[in-house]
């Protein structure tokens, strides 16, 4: 059945300017890290992508290694670009990344020009695109000069394979250096993608958030719900079907400590007082004061996307609420 996007898709979504650019990003973006790979039900992924766009989520975030197997999330998304989203390509912001292991041998990961350019060419082929809107260096490479990695990003833009470039998981010091290199090359850094949540505030402690603000670079926070910890799922322990229960997950059982559960329960009380779910509170907190351009959500079913988007109905916090949250998080 032919997909027709909702005519009301822009009615309620909040859009934020990304750094010093002309690009507006939705306050919530959808990541395809999990649940859109070759092992996952295609129609469920399709339903989630359609519903996300109908709710005003115009930004879809991918990477070369997303799946499993690696590359299959881009292939799945590419097939939907042909069948569902082709008429809406110019309404979409599509991003991908390279940095983690993708193929055997010395050229299949990290940050060399050889790897980044080759990987993006493969990503474009998998998605059936001539260009992506944003291309990221997925992680810093300790053994490749930063000038080479940033030079590759500059070259990719000049070749027309990406409109903008970003970096992910770079420290404040590395980011400041990357900004300078790219500015000198004439291809400004658009955006940084760090992990950030109520339970993971390294970008504040490291000074990265200040570097981004001072240089007017956008930011998009991944894992704002801390792999599901900042939802009601773990209030009573570790469910057998949860990420923490799976041996191949980035979230392990030892992260679900008694202290974390106590904090989650206390935060849940604040959420209820605000008329929100814990997930909605966590997303609103990440987006507080406009310091984060967009929060990158994941999903395994349509209802999760619908719930998360409702966080935008109440993004304002009183001073008392923020003080109480700070007290809980530091307790």
Residue 321, H or E segment: helix 319-330
Other CB atoms within 10 A of residue 223 CB: 24
DSSP 108-137: SSSS-HHHHHHHHHHHHHHHT-S-EEEEEE
CA distances, 157 to each of 132, 137, 148, 182, 187 (Å): 10, 13, 14, 11, 8
**What mean pLDDT do residues 128-153 have?**
98
Q: What percent of the chain has pLDDT over 90?
A: 91
Among 156, 175, 177, residue whose Cα is nearest residue 113 = 156
The residue extents of the domains of the chain are 15-227+279-316
The pLDDT, as a whole number, for residue 119 is: 98
Cα separation, 55 vs 123, whole angstroms: 26
Q: What percent of the chain has pLDDT over 70?
A: 94
Please answer whether residues 29 and 286 qualify as being in contact, where contact means their C-beta atoms are separated by less than 8 angstroms: no
Cis peptide preceding 68, ω within 30 of 0: yes
Q: What angle do CA 234, 236, 237 make, to 5 degrees?
A: 65
pLDDT digits (tens, 9 = 90+) for 19-51: 999 999 999 999 999 999 999 999 999 999 999
Question: What are the structure tokens assigned to 325, written together?
Answer: 């949250």
Helical ranges in 186-277 per DSSP H = 202-206, 208-214, 258-273
Task: For domain 15-227+279-316, give the CATH number.
Answer: 3.20.20.100
Q: Is the pLDDT of residue 109 over 90?
A: yes
Cα separation, 135 vs 216, whole angstroms: 18
The pLDDT, as a whole number, for residue 239 is: 63
pLDDT digits (tens, 9 = 90+) for 279-311: 999 999 999 999 999 999 999 999 999 999 999
Q: Is the pLDDT of residue 328 over 60?
A: yes
Question: What are the structure tokens assigned to 162, written together?
Answer: 């990406």
pLDDT digits (tens, 9 = 90+) for 203-237: 999 999 999 999 999 999 999 999 999 998 877 66
- Ranges 79-93, 169-183, 184-198, 234-248: which has the least confidence: 234-248
Total residue count of the chain as it appears in this document = 331
Residue with tokens 């996007």: 5
Q: Is the pLDDT of residue 70 over 70?
A: yes
Cα separation, 45 vs 7, whole angstroms: 21
Among 192, 221, 199, 141, residue whose Cα is nearest residue 325 = 199
End-to-end CA distance of the chain: 53
Adjacent-strand bridge partners of 55: none
Please answer whether residues 161 and 135 qualify as being in contact, where contact means their C-beta atoms are separated by less than 8 angstroms: yes
Cα separation, 112 vs 137, whole angstroms: 10
Q: What is the DSSP letter of 11?
A: S
Q: Is the pLDDT of residue 250 over 60?
A: no
Please answer whether residues 275 and 268 qualify as being in contact, where contact means their C-beta atoms are separated by less than 8 angstroms: no
């Amino acid at each position: 059945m032919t997909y027709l996007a909702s005519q009301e898709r822009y009615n309620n979504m909040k859009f934020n300017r990304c750094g010093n650019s002309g690009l507006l990003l939705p306050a919530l973006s959808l990541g395809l890290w999990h649940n859109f790979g070759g092992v996952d039900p295609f129609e469920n992924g399709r339903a989630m992508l359609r519903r996300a766009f109908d709710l005003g989520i115009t930004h879809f975030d991918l990477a070369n290694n997303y799946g499993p197997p690696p590359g299959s999330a881009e292939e799945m998304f590419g097939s939907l670009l042909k069948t569902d989203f082709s008429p809406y390509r110019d309404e979409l912001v599509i991003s991908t990344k390279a940095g983690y292991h993708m193929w055997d041998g010395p050229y299949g990961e990290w940050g060399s020009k050889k790897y980044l350019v080759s990987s993006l060419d493969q990503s474009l082929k998998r998605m059936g695109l001539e260009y992506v809107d944003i291309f990221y260096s997925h992680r810093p490479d300790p053994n490749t000069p930063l000038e080479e990695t940033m030079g590759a990003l500059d070259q990719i833009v000049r070749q027309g394979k990406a409109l903008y470039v970003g970096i992910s998981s770079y420290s404040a010091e590395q980011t400041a250096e990357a900004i300078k290199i790219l500015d000198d090359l004439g291809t400004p850094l658009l955006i940084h993608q760090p992990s950030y949540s109520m339970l993971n505030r390294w970008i504040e402690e490291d000074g990265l958030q200040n570097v981004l603000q001072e240089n007017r670079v956008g930011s998009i926070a991944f894992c704002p719900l801390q792999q599901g910890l900042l939802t009601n799922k773990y209030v009573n322990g570790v469910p057998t079907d949860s990420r923490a229960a799976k041996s191949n997950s980035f979230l392990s059982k030892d992260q679900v400590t008694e202290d974390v559960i106590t904090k989650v329960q206390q935060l849940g009380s604040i959420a209820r007082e605000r008329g929100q779910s814990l997930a909605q509170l966590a997303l609103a907190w990440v987006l507080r004061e406009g310091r984060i351009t967009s929060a990158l959500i994941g999903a395994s079913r349509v209802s999760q996307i619908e719930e998360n988007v409702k966080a935008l109905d109440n993004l304002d916090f009183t001073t008392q609420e923020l003080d109480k949250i700070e007290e809980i998080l530091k307790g």
